[in-house]
Amino acid sequence: MANPDWHRLGPVETLKQRSLQTVTVAGRPIALSYDEGRFGAILGRCLHAGGPLGDGTLRNGYVVCPWHGWTYQRETGEGEPGSTDAVPRYLLKQEGGELFIDLASGTHPRAASHEPHPLARRPERAPGALRVVGISTTVMDRQAPRYSTSEDLLGVALEAAAGDGAETKLIRLDSLRFRACEGYYSKSANACTWPCSITQMDDKDELTAVYEALVHWADVVLIATPIRWGNASSLYFKMIERMNCIQNQITTHNRVLIRNKVAGFIVTGGQDNVQAVAGEMMMFFGELGFTFAQFPFVGHSRGWSAEDMENNVAAVKADQELREGTRALARRCLERARDLVAAGEGAARTERGGRKANGSLK
Ligand code: FES
């Protein structure tokens, strides 16, 4: 057994005042708790993503991690019943009204192997034809559907891409049930994980289909939105807030999940603001790592005073130039993606060749 390594934590009476707190001892965060007349001390770093356990809450003798809710018995460090996870626990003693901790007494941590979420795999382009996903962000009653200008044009773009030999997929965002971003990033940059914390905790959340398409499947992503009061649709924003986890990987792990992919946009509205909406979308998707074809969006609007929406619908249906422009957008995006994929495959070949030459390729 290791020699004891006692450290003074402070006056017992003072430490009793808080049921759970973080104390840092020799650089180590300890979740110190006091409940039912007894102190408990466990390592204050959660096994999931490093959440600060001492800043969490106490529930029925368990410390609840403030980031995503994993729990550990406050005196033994054992995970909740049924879990084989455990964080180290430490011995404590009281002498002369002071509390001491023995850092050498820490038990071994046990991190049970948790099956990684399928999205967590390394993004690697599977061989095959170019792949285009169209994401429609308009909202309607799908039981009693209406004509949507943005969704119609998205269909035109996907048809053109398919005609060019691409595999295509349409995702109607309003047919997916998914939660709004709950702001894990606001707790800590590291609390906003990839895959998304919600996706990992809630297997009923259906945004997985969008993550899968964007990060793993597609070479080209076409996003279609109506203009609502000068902005993209509320569902578009609900989706992109959940994509902070993609961008945040660059901040927290220097890991770029989106490479060699192209984004294009379709923006339609009865009234104006096409440029502002497209500008916001380009900024956001650029921050995720997407690149753009030359002239990366098509837009349609009949101007500020065009309140006669039925004529707007008729105009889009009849506008052959707009439809041809939308097909051209799809083709430009594919062309750009073709170059990027070829460049990416060339770089991978060079890397493999280099590793083979220096004997590191197994
Ligand atoms: S539950 Fe503790 S870091 Fe996620």
Distance from residue 286's CA to the centre of ligand 1 (Å): 30
Q: Could you tell me the distance, in angstroms and rounded to a whole number, from the CA of residue 184 to the centre of ligand 1?
A: 10
235, 136 contact by CB (below 8 A): no
Atom of ligand 1 nearest to the CA of 69: 1
The pLDDT, as a whole number, for residue 113 is 75
Amino acid (1-letter code) at residue 257: L
pLDDT digit string (tens) for 160-171? 999 999 999 999
- pLDDT for 271 equals 80
Q: How many CB atoms lie under 10 A from the CB of residue 314? A: 12
How far apart are the C-alpha atoms of 337 and 288, rounded to whole Å?
Answer: 16
Mean pLDDT of 99-117: 92
- Nearest CA to 211 among 246, 178, 236? 246
- CATH superfamily, region 6-102: Rieske [2Fe-2S] iron-sulphur domain (2.102.10.10)
Name the residue with the closest Cα to ligand 1, atom 1: 68
Token match 């030999």: residue?
A: 165
Task: Please say whether the beta carbons of 272 and 288 come within 8 A.
Answer: no
**Mean pLDDT, rounded, for 213-220:** 98
Token look-up 């200008």 returns 149
Fold of 121-357: Rossmann fold (3.40.50)
- Ligand 1 binding site (Cβ under 6 Å of any ligand atom): 46, 48-51, 65, 67-70
- Residue 362: band (very low, low, confident or very high) from pLDDT cuts 50, 70, 90: very low
> In the chain, what are the domain boundaries?
6-102, 121-357
| pLDDT tens figures, 49-91 | 999 999 999 999 999 999 999 999 999 999 998 889 999 999 9
* CA of 50 relative to ligand 1 center, distance in Å: 6
Classify residue 231 as exposed, middle or buried by CB count within 10 Å of its CB (0-12, 13-18, 19+).
middle
Residues 212 and 119 sit within 8 Å (Cβ to Cβ): yes
The pLDDT assigned to 89 comes to 98
CB 271 within 8 A of CB 306: yes
Residue 355 predicted with pLDDT over 60? no
**Nearest atom, ligand 1, residue 190 CA:** 3
CA 186 to ligand 1 center in whole angstroms: 14
Which residue, among 129, 111, 118, 205, has the nearest Cα to 165 in the 3D structure? 129
Residues 310-326 pLDDT 10s? 899 999 999 999 999 99
Instruction: Please state the atom number of ligand 1 nearest to the C-alpha of residue 65.
Output: 2
Looking up tokens 């018995």, which residue turns up? 73
Ligand 1: centre distance to CA 197 (Å)? 9
Q: Which atom belonging to ligand 1 lies closest to the Cα atom of 197?
A: 4
* Nearest Cα residue to 151 out of 172, 167, 131: 172
Residue 88 near residue 77 (C-beta atoms within 8 A) = yes
Model confidence pLDDT, tens digit, residues 279-304: 999 999 999 999 999 999 999 999 88
